Amino acid sequence: MSVLSLQDMAPGFADATADSQAVFRSALDAMARPGTPVRIPQTALVSPTPGTNAVAASVLLALLDQDCTLWLSPGLAAGPAAAWLRFHTGCQLVTDGSKADFVWAASIAELPPIQQLKQGSAEYPDQSATCVVGVTGWRTAAEADAGAVTLRGPGVRDAITLAVDGMDADFVQQHHAMQAHAPCGVDIFCCAEDVLLGFPRSVRLVAAGKGRACT
């Protein structure tokens, strides 16, 4: 984690209450409507540096507090993001992803294997990890499109098909394996520009050309 002086520390939300509530509502909306893009208000977008994913940073700033543990992928951990979130939220940083309440990965490729993250338990499924992942882009797609992933399940009317950068067949396989232990599992936010996409543990994913997802 890089050390920043207070004068070098990027600010958090301009209006801590209103901006945090706006981002929190956006996060809830994204999870309630899986695969549906939710835009975070521009006035509530903040980040530790201009090159850092502002949607991901804003979501974590709204969700973290001093009781939360956070793991960051190596590039983020080595930069100012860790110190910025530690300063503004009081969160506890961990180097072991299996002990993290929240995981911030700069890309899907930098996300630890899903099965290694906190899954919760049958009694307390909420005691699982929430992953906030940066993606460079996404688009709506047809089910046959290469790289496309189709979502079905709670919160999805019929089906939604997207192509999300980095969301490949290996990720879909990991997601299927996780769902064998429902209601345990991790929730995932994908963050691109000013758009937030929610992938709750309950949604079913299928990669292009693989047929319908199993229920």
d(CA 146, CA 103): 28
d(CA 212, CA 124): 30
Round the average pLDDT of the chain to a whole number and report it: 93
The pLDDT value given to residue 14: 96
* Dihedral sign for Cα atoms in the order 203, 122, 61, 19: positive
14-23 per-position pLDDT tens digit: 999 999 999 9
101-136 per-position pLDDT tens digit: 999 999 999 999 999 999 999 999 999 999 999 999
Question: Could you give the C-alpha distances from 22 to 95, 172, 187, in angstroms and in order?
Answer: 30, 30, 20
* Per-residue pLDDT at 9 exceeds 80: yes
Section 73-94 average pLDDT? 95
The tokens for 5 are 């002086």
Task: State which H helix or E strand residue 104 sits in.
Answer: strand 102-105
* Per-residue pLDDT at 36 exceeds 70: yes
Its pTM stands at 0.92
Superfamily for domain range 6-136+182-200 = Bacterial phosphonate metabolism protein PhnH (3.40.50.11310)
Question: Could you give the C-alpha distances from 37 to 12, 27, 76, 136, 196, in angstroms and in order?
Answer: 24, 11, 24, 14, 6
